[in-house]
Structure 1
Amino acid sequence: MKRYSVLLLLILIISCKSTHRIVKLEPSAVENSLKTKVTELGKRVLNSCNTSKFKPFTTEEATPEVISNITPDKISKTCKKFLFKYGKFESIQLMEILQNKSTKSKIFRYKAIYERKRIIKELRITVNEEDKISEIKSTDWTDIFDINK
Structure 2
Amino acid sequence: MRKFILIICILTLFGCKTKNVNGKLIGKSIDTSKLSTEQESQKNKAYELGKRLLMTCNTSKFKPFNKSEATDKVIANSTEKKVKEIGAKYSLKYGHFKDLEFIEMIPNKTDNTNIFRFKALFDYDKANKELRVTMNAANKISGITTKDWKDEYQ
Please give the TM-score of this superposition, normalised by the length of structure 2.
Answer: 0.79
Q: Judging changes above 3 Å, is the alpha-carbon distance between structure 1 residues 114 and 19 closer, same or farther for their aligned structure 2 residues?
A: closer
After TM superposition, the structure 1 = structure 2 runs for residues 1-149 of structure 1, keeping only pairs within 5 Å, are 20=20, 21-23=25-27, 24-27=29-32, 28-31=34-37, 32-146=40-154
Say whether the 8 Å CA contact 2:31–2:103 is kept in structure 1. Answer: no
Following superposition, which runs of at least 4 residues in structure 1 exceed 4 angstroms of deviation?
none
How many equivalent residue pairs? 129
Q: Judging changes above 3 Å, is the alpha-carbon distance between structure 1 residues 50 and 119 closer, same or farther for their aligned structure 2 residues?
A: closer
Deviations 1:51-94 (A, max 9, x none): 11111111110000000110111011101210111011000000
Q: Which runs of 5+ in 2 are unaligned?
A: 1-17
Q: Which runs of 5+ in 1 are unaligned?
A: 1-17
Aligned residue for 1:110, secondary structure, equals strand
Aligned residue for 1:34, secondary structure, equals helix
Cα distance in 2 for residues equivalent to 1:116 and 1:30: 34
Q: Judging changes above 3 Å, is the alpha-carbon distance between structure 1 residues 46 and 29 closer, same or farther for their aligned structure 2 residues?
A: same
* Cα offset, 1:38, TM superposition: 1.0
Cα distance in 2 for residues equivalent to 1:137 and 1:91: 16
Q: Which has the larger radius of gyration?
A: 1
Aligned residue for 2:55, secondary structure, equals helix
